[in-house]
Amino acid sequence: MRVENLGGRICIIGPSSSGKSTLANNLANKLNIPVTHLDYLAYYHGSNWQRRSDSELIAAQSNIIKQEKWIIEGNYSICMPDRLQRATGVIWLDYHPLNVAYRYIIRCIKNNNGRIGKLPGSQKEFSLSLLKHILCTYPKNKIKYDKFLSYYHIPVVKIHNFKALKQFSRNNGI
Protein backbone atom coordinates (compact mmCIF):
# COMPACT_ATOMS: atom_id res chain seq x y z
CA MET A 1 0.00 0.00 0.00
CA ARG A 2 1.17 3.52 -0.76
CA VAL A 3 1.50 5.78 2.28
CA GLU A 4 -0.50 8.44 0.49
CA ASN A 5 -3.51 6.08 0.71
CA LEU A 6 -3.32 6.18 4.52
CA GLY A 7 -4.62 9.75 4.61
CA GLY A 8 -3.52 12.62 6.78
CA ARG A 9 -4.03 11.11 10.24
CA ILE A 10 -1.74 8.11 10.65
CA CYS A 11 -1.13 5.94 13.72
CA ILE A 12 2.08 3.94 13.97
CA ILE A 13 1.92 1.18 16.57
CA GLY A 14 4.19 -1.66 17.61
CA PRO A 15 6.57 -2.71 20.37
CA SER A 16 9.36 -0.59 21.78
CA SER A 17 12.49 -0.58 19.58
CA SER A 18 10.60 -1.60 16.44
CA GLY A 19 11.44 1.62 14.57
CA LYS A 20 8.17 3.52 15.14
CA SER A 21 9.85 6.85 15.93
CA THR A 22 12.20 6.75 12.96
CA LEU A 23 9.42 5.70 10.60
CA ALA A 24 7.16 8.45 11.97
CA ASN A 25 9.79 11.14 11.43
CA ASN A 26 10.63 9.92 7.93
CA LEU A 27 6.94 9.74 7.03
CA ALA A 28 6.30 13.20 8.48
CA ASN A 29 9.11 14.63 6.34
CA LYS A 30 7.79 12.95 3.19
CA LEU A 31 4.14 13.93 3.71
CA ASN A 32 4.77 17.27 5.46
CA ILE A 33 2.58 16.26 8.39
CA PRO A 34 3.43 17.00 12.04
CA VAL A 35 4.56 14.03 14.12
CA THR A 36 3.94 13.27 17.79
CA HIS A 37 5.87 10.69 19.78
CA LEU A 38 3.49 9.52 22.53
CA ASP A 39 6.38 8.88 24.91
CA TYR A 40 6.96 12.66 24.88
CA LEU A 41 3.39 13.12 26.13
CA ALA A 42 3.37 10.16 28.53
CA TYR A 43 6.57 10.95 30.44
CA TYR A 44 8.08 14.04 32.05
CA HIS A 45 11.07 15.26 30.06
CA GLY A 46 14.36 14.98 31.93
CA SER A 47 12.85 12.57 34.43
CA ASN A 48 14.38 9.27 33.36
CA TRP A 49 10.96 7.97 32.38
CA GLN A 50 8.69 9.18 35.17
CA ARG A 51 5.14 8.59 33.88
CA ARG A 52 2.48 11.27 33.74
CA SER A 53 -1.05 10.37 34.82
CA ASP A 54 -3.38 8.72 32.32
CA SER A 55 -5.62 11.79 32.39
CA GLU A 56 -2.68 14.05 31.42
CA LEU A 57 -1.77 11.73 28.54
CA ILE A 58 -5.37 11.53 27.32
CA ALA A 59 -5.77 15.33 27.47
CA ALA A 60 -2.49 15.93 25.61
CA GLN A 61 -3.38 13.42 22.90
CA SER A 62 -6.89 14.90 22.62
CA ASN A 63 -5.40 18.25 21.62
CA ILE A 64 -3.38 16.59 18.87
CA ILE A 65 -6.08 14.36 17.39
CA LYS A 66 -8.36 17.38 16.95
CA GLN A 67 -5.96 18.64 14.29
CA GLU A 68 -6.65 18.04 10.61
CA LYS A 69 -3.36 16.19 10.00
CA TRP A 70 -1.04 14.25 12.26
CA ILE A 71 1.20 11.24 12.60
CA ILE A 72 1.21 9.72 16.08
CA GLU A 73 3.56 6.91 17.03
CA GLY A 74 3.16 4.82 20.13
CA ASN A 75 0.64 2.49 21.69
CA TYR A 76 -0.79 3.44 25.10
CA SER A 77 -4.00 1.40 25.12
CA ILE A 78 -5.64 3.91 27.46
CA CYS A 79 -5.93 6.44 24.64
CA MET A 80 -5.73 4.23 21.54
CA PRO A 81 -9.51 4.05 20.85
CA ASP A 82 -9.81 7.87 20.67
CA ARG A 83 -6.81 8.00 18.32
CA LEU A 84 -8.14 5.24 16.08
CA GLN A 85 -11.54 6.88 15.87
CA ARG A 86 -9.93 9.91 14.18
CA ALA A 87 -7.23 8.03 12.26
CA THR A 88 -7.32 7.59 8.50
CA GLY A 89 -4.67 4.84 8.48
CA VAL A 90 -2.49 2.63 10.67
CA ILE A 91 0.98 1.18 10.24
CA TRP A 92 1.54 -1.71 12.63
CA LEU A 93 5.12 -2.86 13.13
CA ASP A 94 4.36 -6.36 14.39
CA TYR A 95 7.66 -8.16 14.89
CA HIS A 96 8.68 -11.24 16.82
CA PRO A 97 9.35 -10.26 20.46
CA LEU A 98 12.84 -11.82 20.53
CA ASN A 99 13.95 -9.71 17.56
CA VAL A 100 12.65 -6.58 19.25
CA ALA A 101 14.22 -7.49 22.60
CA TYR A 102 17.60 -7.94 20.90
CA ARG A 103 17.24 -4.58 19.18
CA TYR A 104 16.25 -2.96 22.50
CA ILE A 105 19.35 -4.32 24.27
CA ILE A 106 21.62 -3.07 21.46
CA ARG A 107 19.90 0.34 21.60
CA CYS A 108 20.55 0.50 25.35
CA ILE A 109 24.21 -0.44 24.98
CA LYS A 110 24.71 2.29 22.36
CA ASN A 111 22.81 4.83 24.52
CA ASN A 112 22.68 7.31 21.64
CA ASN A 113 21.53 10.68 23.01
CA GLY A 114 20.52 11.75 19.49
CA ARG A 115 18.25 8.76 18.95
CA ILE A 116 14.90 9.69 17.48
CA GLY A 117 12.23 9.05 20.08
CA LYS A 118 14.54 9.22 23.09
CA LEU A 119 12.92 11.12 25.94
CA PRO A 120 14.50 14.60 26.07
CA GLY A 121 16.83 14.96 29.03
CA SER A 122 16.69 11.28 29.93
CA GLN A 123 19.98 9.56 30.76
CA LYS A 124 18.63 6.11 31.62
CA GLU A 125 18.08 3.86 28.64
CA PHE A 126 17.79 0.29 29.97
CA SER A 127 14.80 -0.88 31.97
CA LEU A 128 14.20 -4.45 33.01
CA SER A 129 10.48 -3.71 33.16
CA LEU A 130 10.51 -2.52 29.52
CA LEU A 131 12.36 -5.66 28.45
CA LYS A 132 9.72 -7.71 30.28
CA HIS A 133 7.02 -5.64 28.55
CA ILE A 134 8.54 -6.40 25.13
CA LEU A 135 8.78 -10.12 25.81
CA CYS A 136 5.66 -10.79 27.91
CA THR A 137 3.14 -7.94 27.86
CA TYR A 138 3.29 -6.76 24.24
CA PRO A 139 2.43 -10.21 22.80
CA LYS A 140 -0.72 -10.19 24.96
CA ASN A 141 -1.51 -6.61 23.96
CA LYS A 142 -1.48 -7.60 20.29
CA ILE A 143 -4.82 -9.33 20.87
CA LYS A 144 -6.22 -6.10 22.31
CA TYR A 145 -4.85 -4.05 19.38
CA ASP A 146 -6.41 -6.46 16.87
CA LYS A 147 -9.73 -6.01 18.65
CA PHE A 148 -9.39 -2.20 18.63
CA LEU A 149 -8.59 -2.21 14.91
CA SER A 150 -11.56 -4.46 14.11
CA TYR A 151 -13.92 -1.71 15.35
CA TYR A 152 -12.67 0.87 12.87
CA HIS A 153 -12.81 0.60 9.11
CA ILE A 154 -9.47 2.15 8.29
CA PRO A 155 -6.57 0.84 6.21
CA VAL A 156 -3.95 -1.06 8.21
CA VAL A 157 -0.49 -1.87 6.90
CA LYS A 158 0.98 -4.69 9.00
CA ILE A 159 4.74 -5.12 8.75
CA HIS A 160 6.17 -8.31 10.27
CA ASN A 161 9.94 -7.77 10.28
CA PHE A 162 12.71 -5.22 9.84
CA LYS A 163 13.44 -6.36 6.28
CA ALA A 164 9.79 -5.76 5.31
CA LEU A 165 9.95 -2.30 6.93
CA LYS A 166 12.99 -1.41 4.82
CA GLN A 167 11.17 -2.65 1.70
CA PHE A 168 8.02 -0.67 2.62
CA SER A 169 10.12 2.44 3.17
CA ARG A 170 11.97 2.00 -0.16
CA ASN A 171 8.72 1.38 -2.05
CA ASN A 172 7.26 4.58 -0.60
CA GLY A 173 10.35 6.77 -0.93
CA ILE A 174 10.73 7.31 2.80
Q: Where are the beta strands (DSSP E) in the chain?
A: 9-13, 35-37, 70-73, 89-93, 156-159
The yes-or-no verdict on residue 47 having pLDDT over 90 is no
What is the per-residue pLDDT for 117?
86
Question: What residue spans define the domains of the chain?
Answer: 7-171
What is the per-residue pLDDT for 118?
87
CA-CA distance, 136 to 51, in Å (whole number)? 20
Q: β-strands 9-13, 70-73: how paired? A: parallel
The pLDDT tens digits of the residues spanning 96-150 come to 999 999 999 999 999 888 888 888 888 777 899 999 999 999 999 999 999 999 9
What is the per-residue pLDDT for 74?
98
Buried b (16+ CB within 10 A) or exposed e, 22-41: bbbbbbbeebebebbbbbeb
Q: β-strands 70-73, 35-37: how paired? A: parallel
The yes-or-no verdict on residue 93 having pLDDT over 90 is yes
- Does 7-171 carry CATH code 3.40.50.300? yes
CA-CA distance, 84 to 141, in Å (whole number)? 16
**Section 82-87 average pLDDT:** 98
Q: β-strands 89-93, 35-37: how paired? A: unpaired
